[in-house]
Chain A
Amino acid sequence: MSRRNTYKEDEILEEPFDIKHLLRASEYIKKHGIKMIIALVVSAMGGAAALVSPMIVRRALDVAVPQADKQMLFRLVLIACGFYLLSVLFTTIRSHIMINVSQDIIYQIRSDLFAHLQKLPFQYYDDRPHGKILVRVVNYVNSVSDMLSNGLINVVLEIINLIFIVAFMFAVDVQLSLVVLAGVPVLMVFMFWIKNKQRVAWQAVSNKNSNLNAYLQENIVGARITQIFAREDENADIFKTLSNNCRKTWMKAVSYSNLVWPGIDTISVLVRAAIFLFGLLIFSNGHQTLGTIVAISSYASRFWQPIMNLGNIFNGFINNMAYLERIFEAMDEPVTVDDAEGATKMPEIKGEVTFDNVSFSYEKGKEVLHDVSFTVKPGESVALVGPTGAGKSTIVSLISRFYNVNSGRILIDGQDISKVTLNSLRSQMGIMLQDSFIFSGTIEDNIRYGKLNATTKEIIAASKTVCADNFINTMSKGYDTEVKERGALLSQGQKQLISFARTLLSDPAILVLDEATSSIDVQTEKDLQKGLDAMLKGRTSFIIAHRLSTITKCDKIMYIDNGGITECGTHQELMAKKGDYYHLYTAQIEGLEAG
C-alpha cells in the first residue's frame, strides 16, 4: 500500500497522457449521438449560410458597383439578409440542443463518479484527505463541463467550418489559397512545442488546488481544535504557502496558455502580408480581379478565425485534461470489496456467525488477525474485550465485509459472505460505530437513515427505547431541530443515542456495538439497558466495550490480544480461569474500590 496522502504532498498520477481519456470522454458523448449529429448538421448549415455573404459582397463590388446597378445591389442585400437570418436560426437551434447535451454529459460524469465513489472501500477514504475527493466531484467536473460542452463539440464544428472555408477559398483562387495554407505547418510546430509545456503546468495547478482544498476542508471541520491550540497564525501561514503554490503554478500555466492566441495571430498577419505580395504579383499580370484579392483576404481572415478558436479550445483541452485525468483516475480506482461474480442474495439471516481461520492485515506484512476461528450461535451475544488496538473493531468490520480477509472464510448461516451481494449482507447488519456521524438535517432525518420509510411514530418509539426521546424534546424544535455535521448542539453522548436509535430502527439481524455507549453516562446507560436487552433478544450481537459492567451478562466473552482470541467463555468461566479477563475485571473493580 502506498503511503497515506496529506495536504502537503501532491498525488502522483501514475498514468501518462493518453488519448484514451479523450476517447472515454467521447463515450459520454456517444449517448447523445443523434442529437449531436443534428446539432452538427444544423451548425454546418448555419456556417455555410454565413459563408455565403463574402460571395455576395464580392458580387456587389465586382458587378453591381461598377455598373452602378442599384437594383442588383438591393437584390443582393436582400439575399444576404436571408442568409444571415438563416445562420442565426441555425445557430440558435444548435445552441438549444447543445445546452441540453452538454449539461447531460456533465450530469452523467458526475453521477458515475459519485456512484463509483460509493463502491470504493474504506481504504480509499482513509488514504487521502477528503477534500481531495470532494474537489473531483464538484470543482473538477465543473471545469471539464466547459471543455466537453463547448470544446469537443466546437472542435468538430470548427473543423467543418474550416473545410468549408478552404473549399470556398479554393473555388475562388487556387494559388492564393495555397499561400493562405502555407501558414499551417508553422502553426503545427508552434502548437506541438507548447502542448507539452502546458500539460505539465496544468497538472501542477490541479495538484496544488487539490492540496489547498484538502487543507481547507480539514481546517473548517477542525476549527475548534485550531482555536483551542491557538494555532491560527501558524495555520494561516501554512494556508498562505499552499495558496501561494496555487498562484505560482497558475501563473506558470497561463504563461503558456496565453502564448497561443498571440502566436496564432502573428502567423496570420504574416499570411495576410503574403497574400498582398503574391496577389499583387498575380494581379499585375492581369490574372485576377480586385474582387478576388479582397475576397481571398476576407476568407483568409475567416480561415484564421476558426484556427484561433481551435487554439482556444485546444488550450481548454490541455488544462482541463489535467482535471479529466483525475476524474477518470477516481473512476478507475479498483473496487476491492465488490460483489463476487455470480453473487447471490444473502437469504434472511438467522444469525450464526463463523470465522474459519481468518487472517487479515490492513497493510502488507503487518497482520492484525492471525488464524482466528470461532462460531457464534444464532441469538447469542458476544462481547469482545482486550487492550486498545488489539483488533476488536477489525473483527466486527470483517463481519460486514468492510474489508476482504487475507485468508480463511467468514460464514453467516453457513454462507460464505464473500459470495453474497454486499447490499443484501450489510442491509441485514446493524453497526454502531465509535464515531457517530451526524448528517446535516433534522434529528428525525438522522434517525430515519436507519429505515428510510419509517413513520414518525416508529422514530419516536425507537428514540424512547434508547432514552433519546427526553433530550430531543427539550430541543427548540424537538425532532425537527436542524443539526449540522459538526454541530455543537449535540453532546457526544447524545450523538451516540441518536445513532443508537438509527440502528435500532433498521431492525438488523446481527447487531454490532463498537464502543457504542462509551460517551453515555452510567445512569442513562442503565436506563438504556432495558431497551438494549429488548434489542439484543433473538439477535446475534457483538459488543465491544471497556466498561465491563455492560458485558458481564453476555453469552460469550472473547478476550482479543496479539491478533487472536486468547480466552473465550462466559463471565463465570473466565473469572474461574483467572487469566487475562480475570485481571482486567479485577483491575477495574480494584480501581473502583481503591478510592
Chain B
Amino acid sequence: MKKQSSEWKFPRTRIQWLWDNMEGYRALYVLCMIGTVVYNMLQLTVPFFSAQIVDKFLTGDHASENLANMPDEFIRLLCAMVGFTILRCALVYWDCMTYEKVSQAVLFKVRNFLYDKIQRQDMKFYSTYRTGDLMTRVTGDLDAVRHMVAWVIRMLVEAISLVSATAIYFLIMDWKLALILLSVAPLIFIIIYIFKRMVAPMHALLREKLANMNTIAQENISGNRVVKAFAREDYEIEQFDKCNTDYRDTNKKTARVWLKFYPYVETLANLLSVLLILCGGLFLINGQMTMGQYVAFSGLIWAIANPMRQLGNVMNEFQRFSAASAKVMEIYYSEPEIKDSENAIDKPERFEGSIEFKDVSFQYSDGKLPVLKHISFTAKPGETVAIMGETGCGKTSLIHLIPRFYEPTGGEVLVDGVNVKELKLSQLRGNIGLATQDVLLYSDTIDGNIAYGDSEISREEVVRFAKYSAASEFIAKMPEGYETIVGERGVGLSGGQKQRISLARALAVRPSILILDDTTSAVDLETEKEIQESLRNLDFNCTKIIIAQRISTTKDADQILIMQHGEITERGTHQELIEKGGYYAELVKLQVG
C-alpha cells in the first residue's frame, strides 16, 4: 500500500475545492447556514417562554394573582411557545432540504466531472487504477463528500451556534453560574482534538480496505466464467473473506478509537448537569437566582451538552471526508498526458486517410524493452496494409499509436501528413474505426452497440453495416433481432459473433481509417471471405490496417508488413513475399498444410 504523502499536492485545499464546486449555490448555502443559526436560536425560545410561564404563573409571590389578572398573557405565552416551535420546525425542514439540495448539486457536479475526467484519461491511467478502485472513488468516496456538505457542516454550524448562543444567554442571566458551566468546554476541545488526530489515519486505511474489497468483488463478478471453469469458488470465497475480514476489523478498530474518548466526553457532558444542580442549588439557597432562571438553565443545559457529545461523531465524519476527498481530488486534478496540444490544428473535414510512420520507436513506461524499433511505412488513402507477426511482436502497440492511445518515444506518426500530436483527439479518433482484439460490447441492444460511434444513424444503415460484416444473418435469427440485448461484454454471443458486431460498429462511423486488430480470428473461413468481399466494396473511401494471423485475410493487401521483435523484417505484396522465401513464405506453407 502506498503511503499517503504528507505534502498536499493539489492546487486547492479541501474546503476551497468544495467551495469551487458549490458554484451557483454558494449564496444559498450561506443562507442555509444562517438558517441553521436561526433555527437553533428559535430552539432556545421554548425554554424562554416556559421559564416565563413558570416564573409568572406557577411560582413567585404573585403567581395566583397573576393568573387571575392576566390569563390573556398566559395564553399568549403558550401560543408564542407553540407558534415559535412550529415556525422553527418549518425552518428546520426548509433548511435540511436546502442542505440536501446544495449537497446534491455538488455531488452532481463533481460526479459528472469525475466521470468525464475518467473517460478521457489515457491508457497509462487505466493501467494504474483498478476498476474497483475507480468505482470506489466515484461512489463511496464521493458519498463522503456529499455527507460533508449535507450533514457534517450543518452539525458544526449547529454546534457552534447552539453553544455560543446558550453561552451568551447564560452569561446574561447569571454570569457566575455560566462561567462555571463553560469551564468544561476547553477540556472537551482538547479531547476532541486528540481524537481527531488519532482517527485520521484509520479513515485513510478504512477506505483502502473498502477499495480492495470492491476490486476483489468486481473482478470476481467480471471473471465469473474463469472462476467456474476452474471450480475456484472456494478459493474466491477465501480471498474475498480476507478482504471482508480486513474491512470488518479495520471498522472495529476505527470505532474503538472513538470508544477510548467517549467515556471522557460523556463524563464531561454529564458534569455540566452535576455542576448545575450543585451551584444552581447553592445559588438558589443563597437567593442569588430565581427558580425561573434555574429552570431556564436546566432547560438549556442540553444545548451545551449535546453538541459536545455530537462533536466526536462530527469529527469522525470529518475525517472520513478528509480521507475520501483526497482520493476524489486525485482524480479530479489528474491530467492525461495525452490530450489536445494547445495549438492543435482544426481539421473538421473528413480525413483523406493517409498514414505515415517515420522512424517510430515505442516503449511502455513500465516495460523493460522497446516494443517498436524504428518503424517506417506509408499507407496511401484507400490502401490496405496487413501486419503479421508473432504474438507479442508489437503489432497491437503499433496500431495503438495511430489513434494516439500512446505517444511514440521516438519518431512521428503522421495522418494526412500531420503529426497526430498536432491533431485534435476527437477529430483524429472520429476518423478512425477500430475493432479491437478484445471485443468489448455494452449491455445494450445489438442496434445500440452497432450505432455506438454514431447514434444518429438509421436502422437501415445499421442493418447495412451488419451485412457488411456478415452479421445480419445471425442477428435476424435472434428472437428480438436488432433489439436483442446482449449482456455485458456481449455474453450470449459466440466469439465470432461478437467480432462481427464489433466490426459493424467500427464500419458504422464510416471511418477514413479502418483498423482491424485480429478482428476475424474467431470467424469461420467462409464468413470471413464474405467479410473480405464487402470490405473491398465499401461505399466510402477508407485506408485499412489489418492485423491477422491468417494468410487468407492478408493476401490481397497492397502491402504486407511482417514484424518480428518490434521491427519490420519483411514488406511487400503476397507474391513478392512468397518469392522472397522468408517468414511469410514459411507461414503460407504452414497454413496451407
Contact = CB atoms under 8 A, between A and B. Distances in A.
B127 A218 contact: no
B521 to A, nearest CB: 4
Interface in A75-119: 76-77, 80-81, 84-85, 87-89, 91-92, 95-96, 99-100, 103-104, 106-107, 110-111, 114-115, 117-119
Contact of B489 (A114, A117, A427, A435): A435
A519 B248 contact: no
B171 interface: no
B85 A266 contact: yes
A458 to B, nearest CB: 16
B262 interface: yes
Q: Which of B46, B97, B487, B551 has the most CB of A within 10 A?
A: B487
Contacts of B152: none
Contacts of B126: 223-224, 484, 486, 488
Contacts of A126: 487-488, 491-492
B131 to A, nearest CB: 5
B443 A99 contact: no
A129 B443 contact: yes
A232 B119 contact: yes
A351 interface: no
Contacts of B112: 236, 239-240, 243
A426 interface: yes
A279 B54 CA distance: 11
A172 interface: no
A486 B125 CA distance: 11
B230 A449 contact: yes
B409 interface: no
A595 interface: yes
B226 interface: yes
Interface residues of A, number: 182
A484 B388 contact: no
Given A4-B443, A426-B230, A522 B108 contact: no
A515 B586 CA distance: 23
Nearest to A451: B230
Given A60-B281, A99-B259, A437-B226, A125 B522 contact: no
Given A546-B523, A595-B575, A523 B274 contact: no
Contact of B591 (A106, A452, A495, A549): A549
B437 interface: yes
Contacts of A222: 440, 442
Given A243-B111, A387-B524, A523-B587, A491 B396 contact: yes
A214 B221 CA distance: 13
B-side interface size class: 35 or more
Contacts of A56: 277
Contact of B237 (A57, A81, A114, A254): A114
Interface stretch (B173-181, B373-381, B494-502): B494-502
Contacts of A247: 104-105, 107-108
A284 B64 contact: yes
Given A88-B263, A244-B108, A266 B485 contact: no
A262 B90 contact: yes
Contact of A592 (B220, B430, B438, B555): B555
Interface string B480-519: 0000011111011111110010000100010000000010
A587 B389 CA distance: 24
A281 B223 CA distance: 75
A474 B440 contact: no
A477 to B, nearest CB: 8
Interface string A64-83: 11001010011011001100
Interface in A460-505: 471, 474-476, 484-489, 491-497, 502
B494 A107 contact: no
Interface stretch (B197-205, B319-327, B364-372): B364-372
Given A99-B255, A230-B426, A523-B587, A362 B492 contact: yes
Nearest to B122: A227
Contact of B221 (A73, A117, A262): A117
Given A269-B85, A388-B497, A440-B130, A476 B367 contact: yes
A134 B495 contact: no
B419 interface: no
B569 interface: no
B138 to A, nearest CB: 6
Interface in B310-360: none
B229 interface: yes
B391 A520 contact: yes
Nearest to B267: A88
Contact of A491 (B85, B425, B437): B437
A297 interface: yes
A138 B64 CA distance: 65
Contacts of A214: 443
A65 B252 contact: no
A591 B552 contact: yes
A485 B496 contact: no
Interface string A515-527: 1001111111010
A457 interface: no
A287 interface: no
A77 B400 CA distance: 80
B97 A258 contact: yes
Interface stretch (A270-278, A373-381, A408-416): A270-278
Contact of B436 (A117, A224, A422, A584): A224
A100 B249 CA distance: 9
A117 to B, nearest CB: 7
B258 to A, nearest CB: 8
A202 to B, nearest CB: 14
Given A73-B281, A107-B245, A433-B229, A130 B405 contact: no
Given A388-B474, A450-B230, 13 more contacts: A3-B485, A6-B485, A57-B298, A73-B277, A218-B442, A223-B121, A227-B405, A269-B85, A272-B46, A423-B234, A489-B367, A506-B230, A591-B552
24 contacts: A110-B244, A114-B244, A122-B224, A125-B221, A130-B221, A219-B119, A221-B131, A228-B434, A232-B426, A269-B46, A276-B53, A280-B67, A284-B67, A387-B526, A450-B230, A488-B405, A489-B364, A492-B396, A523-B583, A526-B590, A546-B525, A589-B593, A591-B529, A593-B592
Give the top 8 A-B pairs by smallest Cβ distance, nearest first.
Answer: A388-B496, A493-B391, A595-B555, A426-B231, A262-B89, A591-B552, A229-B453, A269-B85
